[in-house]
Amino acid sequence: MGANRVVAAPRRRDDRAVAWLFLAPVLVGFVVFYVYPTGLGIYYSLTDYGMLAAPNLVGVENYRELVEDDKFWNALKVTGYYVVLNIAVQTVLALGLAVLMHRLTQSVAVRAMLLVPWLVPNVTVGLLWMWMLDANLGFVNHVLGALGLGATGFLTSPAWAMPTIAGINTWAYTGYTALLLYAGMLQVPRYLYESASLDGAGEWRMFTRITLPLLRPVLALVLVVSLIGSFQIFDTIAVTTKGGPVGATRVIYFYIYEQAFANFRMGYASAIAVVLAVLLGVLTAVQMRLLRASRSDLA
């Protein structure tokens, strides 16, 4: 200790150790349920793992096969089609509903009702619509028939199957999305609307000039989450079309499932899953970037 030092500066307490301790449960969960399976998945994607025998390393063989697999490319195409249909329709509808809730009624009953379809399990939703849309026994075709229109195999015609699936999921999720957007709108200060209306702006103008720009970060989050969710479409398809007709709804998740649990090609299925994960990562990054999601204009 030097003589020139008068008082020792109070040592800053180091909280890092405690922080790690509190983080530990989450970290363990993250490692066990995310990092470890991801690592294992990447490893399996380089093997011929078939569940019943020990995996053998085959290098990039699975990925090479993937490039030439027209079913894989078809699955990507079909999934992309679904994502576009679903996100476009769902976001527009949800935005409309959210604005109505925000500007017209703040009724809790209305908000609760919007959530009802989202609360029904997806398998039930799928089965319910499958019966209602059935070409011969379904209620919807019965009504169409009464109106003089011919029967449509909503889930059995290659042209209709995917739009129908997108419609079913839009029905199930729009209310939830609308509620998220509505919550975002509540953050927009009221005085902005008041002064805008004093200046003589109409509802449409207020929507495009105030609501939409200020909603951007929330909208970006909703888009990213529903994009990832849409790519993961599986349950509705598993209970209704099972990938048919002729692969028209064999989306990427269903194809992974088929390879893994019907053909027991776990290695190949893992390779598809890895490609999908990379794809989703890139798409999310691009989207976040384009929408400047981490910054708000309200500050």
Partner 1 sequence: MRSTYRRAGALLLCLALTGPLAACAGSDDSADGTTTLDYWLWDDRQLPAYQDCADAFHSANPDITIEITQTAWAQYWQNLTTQLASGDAPDVWTNQNTYYPQFAAKNQLLDVEPLVQRDKVDLAAYQPGLTEVWVKDGKRYGLPKDWDTMAVVVNSEMLGKQGVDPAGLESLTWNPTDGGTFEQVIAKATVDEQGRNGLDPAFDKDHVQVYGFLPEWADGASGQNGWGVLAAANGFTYLDKNPWGTKYRYDDPKLAETISWFKRLIDKGYAPRNDQQSSVANSELLIAGKGAMLITGSWTVLTLTDPKVKQDLRFIPLPTGPAGGRSPINGLSDAIWAGSEHPEEAWKWVRFLASSDCQDRVAQRAVVFPALTGATQKAADAHKAEGRDVHAFIDAAKKDPFLLPVTDHGTEINTVVQDTIQSVILGSTKADAALTEANNKVNALFK
Q: Name which position in 56, 105, 124, 157 contacts partner 1 (CB under 8 A).
A: 157
Residue closer to partner 1 (CB basis): 51 or 183: 51
Q: Name which position in 81, 96, 152, 193 contacts partner 1 (CB under 8 A).
A: 152
Find the DSSP H helices in the chain: 16-30, 36-44, 61-68, 70-103, 108-119, 122-132, 139-146, 158-185, 190-198, 203-206, 212-231, 235-239, 252-257, 266-290
Q: CA–CA separation, 134 vs 154, rounded Å?
A: 7
**Count of residues near partner 1 by CB under 8 A:** 42
Q: Which long-range contacts (CB under 8 A, 24 or more apart) does 196-205 make?
A: 203/103
Return all residues near 123 (Cβ < 8 A) that are at least 6 apart: 235, 239
Q: Name which position in 41, 50, 80, 229 contacts partner 1 (CB under 8 A).
A: 50
Interaction between residue 53 and partner 1 (CB under 8 A):
yes
Closest approach, Cβ 270 to partner 1, in A, equals 14
Positive or negative: CA dihedral 155, 159, 165, 170? negative
Q: CA–CA separation, 162 vs 168, rounded Å?
A: 10
Interaction between residue 156 and partner 1 (CB under 8 A):
yes
- Taking the CA atoms of residue 82, residue 86, residue 89 and residue 93 in that order, the dihedral angle to the nearest 10 degrees is 170
Q: CA–CA separation, 259 vs 266, rounded Å?
A: 7
Residue closer to partner 1 (CB basis): 5 or 13: 13
Interaction between residue 270 and partner 1 (CB under 8 A):
no
Residue window 110-139: x/- pattern of binding to partner 1, with contact defined by CB under 8 A: --------------------xx-xxxxx--
Closest approach, Cβ 105 to partner 1, in A, equals 38
> Exposed, middle or buried, 149 (CB in 10 Å: 0-12/13-18/19+)?
exposed
β-bridge mates for residue 57, sequence order: 47
Residue window 169-198: x/- pattern of binding to partner 1, with contact defined by CB under 8 A: ------------------------------
Residue closer to partner 1 (CB basis): 133 or 224: 133
- Ramachandran region, residue 239 (left: φ > 0; alpha: ψ -120 to 50; beta: rest): alpha
Residue closer to partner 1 (CB basis): 3 or 53: 53
Q: CA–CA separation, 222 vs 98, rounded Å?
A: 13
Interaction between residue 159 and partner 1 (CB under 8 A):
yes
Interaction between residue 4 and partner 1 (CB under 8 A):
no
Tokens 């970006």 locate to 220
Q: Name which position in 124, 195, 263, 294 contacts partner 1 (CB under 8 A).
A: 263
Residue closer to partner 1 (CB basis): 89 or 239: 239
Interaction between residue 264 and partner 1 (CB under 8 A):
yes
Q: Name which position in 79, 241, 249, 270 contacts partner 1 (CB under 8 A).
A: 241
Interaction between residue 58 and partner 1 (CB under 8 A):
no
Tokens 């042209």 locate to 159
Residue 47 carries which DSSP code? Answer: B
Interaction between residue 261 and partner 1 (CB under 8 A):
yes
Residues that bind partner 1 (CB under 8 A): 17, 20-21, 24, 27-28, 31-32, 36, 50-53, 130-131, 133-137, 150-153, 155-160, 240-242, 244-247, 258, 261-264
